[in-house]
Copies of this chain bind each other. A is one copy, B any other.
Amino acid sequence: MSGEDAPAQEQNAVDQKQETKPAEEPKPEPPKTESAPDAAEAAATPAAAAATAEGKAAEEEEEAFAYRALVLTGYGGYDKVKLQVKKGRPALKADDVLVRVKACGLNFADLMARQGLYDRLPSPPFTPGMECSGLVEAVGEEVTDRKVGDKVMVLNRFGLWQEVAVVPASHTFLIPEGMGFEEAAALPVNYITAYMMLFDFGNLRPNQSVLVHAAAGGVGIAATQLCKTVKDVTVFGTASASKHETIGEGGVTHPIDYRTKDYVEEVRKISPKGLDIILDPLGGSDTHKAYNLLKPMGKLITYGTSNMLAGQKKNLLAVAKNWYHQFSIHTLSLIQGNKSVCGFHLGYLDGEMELITQVMNTVLDLYKQGKVKPRIDSTWHLEQVGDAMRKMQERNNIGKVILTTEPMPEEEKKEEPKKEDKKDDKKKDDKKKEDKKKDDGKKEEKKDDKKKEEPKKEEKKEEEKKEEVKKEEK
């Protein structure tokens, strides 16, 4: 039903293709790039001969201009994002800049996009990616506040997971002194999101209490750091137990293992009256829980539906469940409870770059004061985007997952690290089927390390279970 059972072989094939592709040197292709479609026609008149010569030079330069880009070729699993080579220098509008991308950030919205669950994007094929960092390589004729050589962060609706990106100059922010490209790629989406939720909708003030779900994720870590900029704020953070030490060091006052404990109960033990602010990236029934956990004058800020993401490909059951349990509220309940319910998604705010720039400047001030600092979980080559997405989706990251445009060293490619992952892949697909049986779309167990130790054994167990279910069905 959900496409979880796509054969592993097919995925293998695709992954190999992805792996080999970037190794190929981009070969100049025969004439006729888009930018010089009528050169031959123009050459037909003598007066145009000189122009044609110029055009030819441009054409040649054009041909030489090639860059790698990740492309979402269709909705589905990790393999749907493919590394391709694009040719031709992209055209710049008057207020655009061309950025030579150094690093890109991964976000949950990218995972949703891959499954076709995010509606602010074109239909595939297109290049995903909402944030990156890099160097300005060219500026449009009306751009005055950016110049060639500027180090910038970029925020865009999509299109940034490639080596060269053209965006309006207003979508770029200067990288402050001392901030590396990876750090810069990790900052925009998570910190702007966390800041606007906590300080615009949330109106966070001293002595308040905040619940941060997925406290080890990108937004979670940003939110925790931002909470710590306000006096005596208590942060409750959910994460699996193995991450508690790290998030505790990062500022979470009370880490809660949502997989072994009921987080509502845990919060009530410490804060019986409830909480002032709850950041909810989960959606579905967790939004209901959050609402009930608010104090009077409390604010629930929901900013995602990650509960919909239950597997590599679109899980219709999880999506349906999420819709079914979607939180809906009447104003009379809000009045009687003195509560606030807010929705936030940076992806729908792209018309508000002025506001976003203000927030970014505030965040960068906090960075310069040493009060916030993105935490990088891991950096992956463009070729490894599938693994990078998996790490994030399976919540194995602590901090931001980053893609770098640096070429992948040959020896890394030869090591074929994918093979072991491939086994994992199949195993996980089986695992997910089982999860669906349990009707538990969210709390996938992520015992990767264990699995690697004894993958065959686990697989067998899963097979046995499946057969048991079949028998029951008969």
Contacts and interface: CB of A to CB of B under 8 A. Distances in A.
Interface in A450-472: none
A201 B340 CA distance: 7
A196 interface: yes
B327 A302 contact: no
Interface string A308-328: 000000000000000000111
Interface in A339-384: 339-345, 348-349, 351-352, 355
A180 interface: no
B343 A334 contact: yes
- Give the residue among A330, A331, A343, A344 with the most B Cβ atoms within 10 A: A331
Nearest to A333: B343
Given A335-B343, A338-B345, A351 B287 contact: no
A286 to B, nearest CB: 11
Given A196-B297, A296-B348, A296-B351, A331 B341 contact: yes
A270 interface: no
A329 B342 CA distance: 10
A335 B348 contact: yes
Contact of A341 (B297, B329, B338): B329
Nearest to A342: B340
A335 to B, nearest CB: 4
Contacts of A156: none
Contacts of A339: 342-343
Contact of A326 (B304, B330, B343, B351): B330
A335 B303 contact: yes
A200 interface: yes
A200 B201 contact: no
Contact of A334 (B296, B336, B338, B341): B341
A337 interface: yes
Interface string A179-209: 0000000000000000010001101000000
Contacts of A327: 330-331
Given A329-B329, A331-B283, A341 B341 contact: yes
Contact of A331 (B338, B343, B352): B343
Given A283-B331, A297-B352, A305-B332, A340 B341 contact: yes
A336 B118 CA distance: 11
Given A296-B355, A302-B334, 8 more contacts: A196-B297, A296-B352, A305-B335, A326-B332, A328-B330, A329-B341, A334-B343, A336-B348
5 contacts: A296-B355, A326-B331, A333-B343, A334-B343, A340-B340
